[in-house]
């Protein structure tokens, strides 16, 4: 299914740059990078690596990471920016790796892009070594429930509140910003939790991170008003 990524790839690359957008730079990176490094993995897979920004961050700390993404232009840009890295085109629902191939699998804001998320989570669990870690960052389910509507604002454009509606109804929503137009999937939290538990994984850690202290205050204030991101760490039993 056309989900907008092919047409939006160039705009995405321009928007991310090397440091990422606000949410990545000031909310998720300060959590995701230390959690990834703490596992001391020998083999890492980044599912939905996009233009490879997080792979490069891991490589800068000496971690050999394989990046996988279905969008040709994003994989090409990732490989161009990191000539020593390994980047493959593929989908999360059918990972081209043997069982127990990686000590750490990263899903950094990718579950919302995957059509068959239950199969994809099963695949991520399959390629993990016993004792390995699945590290996840995702939009909260409260966020995605009305992601196509965004904030309710007053006449001056000030945010009044962020709406939550049709929470239990799973659906794909077209979202647009700065030349990017893609489908994000809304699912209630139970869909992800059931898939992770059914895959035989055990939760080790959970957080809804705040913006870092150095984040621009005006933008950070909005991220503190509504639940925006969640982060989770799941382990595969030995």
pLDDT of residue 98: 98
pLDDT of residue 227: 83
Domain of residue 83, residue span: 5-235
Contact call for residues 173 and 96 (beta carbons, < 8 A) = no
Contact call for residues 115 and 92 (beta carbons, < 8 A) = no
pLDDT of residue 2: 73
pLDDT of residue 163: 94
The CATH number of residue 143's host domain is: 3.40.50.150
Dihedral sign for Cα 21, 2, 163, 141, please.
negative
Q: How far is CA 156 from CA 98, 147, 153, 212, in A?
A: 55, 21, 8, 28
Tally of domains in the chain = 1
Separation CA 191–CA 188 (nearest Å): 6
pTM, two decimals, is 0.96
Half-sphere exposure of 188 (CA within 13 A, CB side): 7
Q: How high is the mean pLDDT in each 10-residue block of the chain (238 residues)?
A: 88 92 97 96 97 97 96 97 95 98 98 97 98 98 94 94 95 94 97 98 97 95 92 97
Separation CA 55–CA 176 (nearest Å): 25
Determine phi and psi for 2, rounding to 5 degrees: -70, 115
Determine phi and psi for 132, rounding to 5 degrees: -75, 175
The closest alpha carbon to 235, from 119, 108, 118, 135, belongs to 135
pLDDT of residue 220: 95
Contact call for residues 190 and 167 (beta carbons, < 8 A) = no
């Amino acid at each position: 299914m056309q989900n907008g990524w092919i047409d939006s790839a160039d705009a995405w690359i321009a928007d991310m740059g090397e440091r990422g957008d606000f949410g990545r730079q000031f909310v998720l990176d300060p959590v995701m990078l230390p959690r990834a490094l703490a596992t001391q993995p020998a083999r890492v897979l980044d599912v939905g690596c996009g233009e490879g920004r997080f792979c490069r961050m891991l490589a800068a700390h000496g971690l050999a990471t394989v990046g996988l993404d279905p969008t040709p232009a994003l994989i090409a840009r990732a490989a161009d920016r990191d000539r020593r890295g390994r980047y493959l085109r593929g989908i999360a629902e059918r990972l081209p790796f043997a069982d127990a191939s990686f000590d750490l699998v990263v899903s950094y804001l990718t579950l919302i892009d995957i059509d068959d998320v239950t199969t994809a989570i099963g695949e991520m669990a399959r390629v993990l070594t016993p004792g390995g870690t699945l590290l996840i960052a995702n939009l909260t389910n409260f966020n995605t429930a009305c992601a196509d509507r965004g904030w309710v604002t007053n006449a001056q454009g000030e945010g009044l509140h962020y709406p939550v509606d049709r929470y239990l109804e799973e659906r794909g929503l077209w979202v647009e910003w700065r030349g990017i137009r893609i489908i994000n999937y809304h699912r209630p939290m139970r869909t992800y939790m059931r898939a992770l538990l059914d895959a035989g994984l055990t939760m080790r850690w959970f957080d809804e991170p705040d913006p870092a202290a150095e984040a621009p205050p005006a933008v950070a204030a909005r991220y503190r008003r509504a639940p925006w991101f969640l982060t989770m760490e799941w382990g595969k039993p030995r």
